């Protein structure tokens, strides 16, 4: 099998290159843990929003207890105030592994207003989550709108 050697060599070259890039991005990025934490917060928001969204659309059966739990978790997740996870210099023009736009750090009042709107929308959802799929659906518009308003302004599109 004459082909094997070049293939093995190519594979080794590839893993060495990937390894070097990985090591460099971590060594150069003191914000890696904070970025991971803020993305994890977003994931928890998204997970719970998804549970409510599926019930609102009838993709999963409405369950009052599960809806209230998801809305409660969502409210807690959006209430996490963790400025250390949003350190200046941790934007996508400066470091790898984030879609946070530099504009966040230039528009604190607006970012704060968008966060406050999200909290208000999450509270509204929690107040009605136990009352039926229709109510969950009605509260979903404001909630989903609050997520996407901030993403449009402050999150880079996915590659
Ligand atoms: C105040 C602004 C703001 C609001 C409100 C907001 N987000 Fe985000 N979201 C961001 C930013 C900025 C990022 C990019 C973070 C990064 O990559 O460092 C992000 C990233 C995400 C991600 C990707 C996380 C990852 O693993 O990379 C998800 C999912 C997400 N948001 C869901 C939501 C949901 C669901 C809501 C509403 C319940 C929401 N977001 C509300 C600003 C916001």
Which atom, in ligand 1's list, is nearest to the CA of 35? 18
CA max distance for the chain: 69
Whole-angstrom distance, CA of residue 142 vs CA of residue 121: 6
pLDDT the model gives residue 20: 46
**Could you tell which of 151, 152, 154 is best to mutate to test the pocket of ligand 1, judged by most ligand atoms within 8 Å of the CB?**
151
| HSE-CB for 112 with a 13 A CA cutoff | 6
> How close is the Cα of 111 to the center of ligand 1, in Å?
12
Tokens 């509204």 sit on residue: 124
- How high is the pLDDT of residue 28? 72
For residue 115, which of 88, 151, 90 has the smallest C-alpha distance? 151
Answer yes or no: is the C-beta of 125 below 6 A from any ligand 1 atom: no
- Contact between 83 and 65 under an 8 Å Cβ cutoff? The reply is no
Cα–Cα distance measured from residue 37 to residue 26, given in angstroms and rounded to the nearest whole number: 15
- Whether residue 42 has its Cβ less than 6 Å from ligand 1: yes
**Average confidence (pLDDT) per 10 residues, the chain, 159 residues:** 52 48 61 98 98 98 98 98 96 97 98 98 98 98 98 95
| CA 148 to ligand 1 center in whole angstroms | 9
Given the CA of residue 74, which atom of ligand 1 is nearest to it? Answer: 38
């Amino acid at each position: 099998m004459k082909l094997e050697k070049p293939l093995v060599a190519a594979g080794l070259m590839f893993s060495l290159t990937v390894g070097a890039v990985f090591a460099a991005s971590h060594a150069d990025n003191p914000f890696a843990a904070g970025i991971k934490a803020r993305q994890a917060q977003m994931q928890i928001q998204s997970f719970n929003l998804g549970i409510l969204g599926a019930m609102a659309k009838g993709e999963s059966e409405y369950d009052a207890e599960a809806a209230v739990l998801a809305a409660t978790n969502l409210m807690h997740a959006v209430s996490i105030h963790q400025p250390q996870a949003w350190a200046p210099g941790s934007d996508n023009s400066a470091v790898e592994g984030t879609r946070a736009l530099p504009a966040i750090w230039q528009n604190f009042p607006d970012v704060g207003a968008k966060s406050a709107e999200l909290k208000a929308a999450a509270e509204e959802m929690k107040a009605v989550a136990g009352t039926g799929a229709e109510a969950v659906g009605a509260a979903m518009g404001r909630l989903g709108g609050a997520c996407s308003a901030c993403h449009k302004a402050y999150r880079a599109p996915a590659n």
